[in-house]
Structure 1
Amino acid sequence: MTLRIGCIADDFTGGTDAAAAFRRAGLRTALVFGVPGSDTALPAGCDAAVVALKSRSAPVREAVADSLATQRWLRTRGAAQIYLKYCSTFDSTPEGNIGPVTDALLDAAGARTTLACPASPPNGRTVYKGHLFVHDEPLSESPLRHHPLNPMTDSSLPRLLSAQTRHRVGRIDLATVRGGADGVRDALRAGERDGVRHLIADALTDDDLAVLGEAARGLPVVTGAAGLAEGLGRACPLAGAAGPEDLPPRGRAAVLAGSCSARTLEQIARFYAAGLPSLHVDVLAAAAGRDVIGDALAWYDVQDPGVPVLVYASASPEELAAVQRQLGVAEAAAHVEELLGGLAVRLVERGVRRLLVAGGETSGAVTTALGVRAVLVGDEADPGVPWTHASTPAGGLALMLKSGNFGAPDLFVRALRTTEAEEPV
């Protein structure tokens, strides 16, 4: 198998978002969870492969090692270009690993310059004059400044990245981008000549990202969010060749939510308002030794099998802060992952065949618990939120992994409609 492009994503929902972008560009795309081994197999005929790591908040040394191992695996499968996909809200801390990972990938590829752009216009992320915006607000003034793991307190991408790398960081302005791919290539060559390793490009629209994708087609390493991934995908010679994937199987449906983002909380509220069964699991009770999984399964077993259910550990910022004060940030997150990962296994054993998971860390816990290593990417329910097709010991499974901030408010209800009719499950 010869891949056209290989992608390294720093979390599981970010990997799903990038895989959806390549699929949208017309590439038959596989999504692999965790650092692949020599025996990790891809579905036949893939043009792109996305490897989703859990490195977004990992220590620099670990993130670099996992990313380099993944780069080697992708290159042995023919991927001449590596795309490093990180969150469209970047990483605000000097201790973040985007810079070190990018530098390590460039060194391994023998490359001196890369293009970076975390814009994702369908999700309201744009870059202008080197600053990252969330809809109409600078990143540092948006609700994401309160992110529980990576608070986004600065919107200047050159400043953020300069704190993470010893190499020079420069910019490609919007006027250059709007001038076309040749102008962007000239800017990349000038940056390489002048010793600028990281060139951050402005982008306000998908058309801007298409220009960047065309300009970056020959670079060994490119970095950004899902928007630029789609631009790169559309620049591939095979773009548009992928056919439709199978629809999600019929069967019982469930949502597991661990994200505490404002959008996920809104989606939970919309699910509850639709009169659908919802259960909140108590992380503090689990930490105290209560069989919270057993309680949740007892609740699930008496629900109507014809309607989807929601089990969530998500909480408001105030509730989350209270739990973190008692358990600590890492311990609280570990309990959520253990609860929802264990519950996913038991639900699939009980016949759930459509499973929607909200939250990057939660998605990692669920796929790990289910033993799912690779999936084929299908169509999207919302931008960046596709169905994927997996196999488990209990049978076929349609799996949707949703970033906490992604999806329309009614996603939980709408995505779990039947695939053969427009009536709720």
Structure 2
Amino acid sequence: MHGDDPCACSSAGTGSGNHRDMSTPNNAGSSILTEWRARREAERAAAQGTHTIPISEMEPGSEGYSWLTGSSPGRRAVSERNALAVGAVYASVALIGGALGQLMLQTYTVKDTLKTPVQGDLWYMLNEEMHPRWSAALGWDFSAQSLLLHGNLYIRIHRPTPFSVNVESLEPIHPLRCTPLLHEDRLIYTIVNLDGTVETIDQDDMLHVPGPGFDGLRGMSQIRHVLRQPISTALAANDVGENMLTDGLRPDIVLQTDAKVDRDQVKLLRDQWMERYSGLSNSNAPVVIGGGLKVEKISMTAADAQLLDREKLTVEDVARIFGVPPYMIGQMEKQTSFGKGLEELGTSFVRYTLGRHMTKIQQEASRKLATRGKTSIAYDPSALLKGDMTSRYAAYRAALGRAGEPGWMRQNEVRQLENLPPAPDGDKLFNGTVDAQSNPATD
């Protein structure tokens, strides 16, 4: 870390005032963890046999299976993998994760009420490379997926030593590899590393952003709760549609006859029908029957089953859960009911959907990585709020000022927003007393 980075040497755990050594369970010098482990083992021993579920009984429909998979009796198990197999879920998660990856987490030095942007080592980690294995965009995309599906975002803070306030790297952690626990009114986190080792770290070494339903330990898993019904229904509809295509869109039928047939004749006729006319390869084979048999259709078509309508409802349900305008994930119907124009919809998405995630992330980053009263961290959403060129340039002209209208932005400030080099005389603020045509800031 460079000593000139005002945000690199930050105070870890500014709320607590100190940084605790919670590096590994095998750390002989950690009396806090030793005491916690002893208490935990005692609690487990006392609770043994009170509510145990044998592994052999964890089958579909059982309580244990439901607890592990997020399913409920009579429904399909919902996991991260098959949740992302639903197009609306994948599109929503990719949209929000990609948007957070585009935004800049700006670091500032604070003096009185003035915040000055700086770009040091911490800025580089937040916006370019979090970890040797993670670019910043990939890290925020993955973390958003964890937050949106599992209800918790975990990013481990690696420091040079357990007592250092400097930050070496930020490592995203999958929620299934991290368990938060409470000890003496502080959170500690047990992490299963990729190599199988287990570590326990203090809350000052973990960025933890929970979703809705935070109970003091973790947020509520969307997979186990709000996404369970729409995903289960979507998976069932996909299975029905796939079966219809596999069977060549041929409906279920009944062969009727007034003649008397015995069991062997029924079996023979059924086997012959399945061999010659069922399956996708036989979907176009003509049906030839005799002996006074009549074919009667008894199943519903895709239109009768309303599979297409059900798919639209699933998209709307998922969009409602994630707070995404349906048109952003490919549902183009009824888009005008959400606002006046796509630009307004995009602004609303940034303000109300991304805003609730940005606020929690920047607050957690500031309290764990910044020094209270000296540095701060905040998102800059301007990249997603830029209007079209005509409206943007009209706003710049008003900000620079015109005859009789003092400006409140300098020319170089505007040029910086458009990623242009500074002009030699671009740091003068127009006071509105010179004719607009002779004002270099507006020419």
Name the TM-score, length of structure 1 as normaliser.
0.23
Q: Could you state the TM-score of these two structures normalised by the residue count of structure 2?
A: 0.22
Structure with the higher strand share, 1 or 2: 1
Largest Rg, 1 or 2 = 2
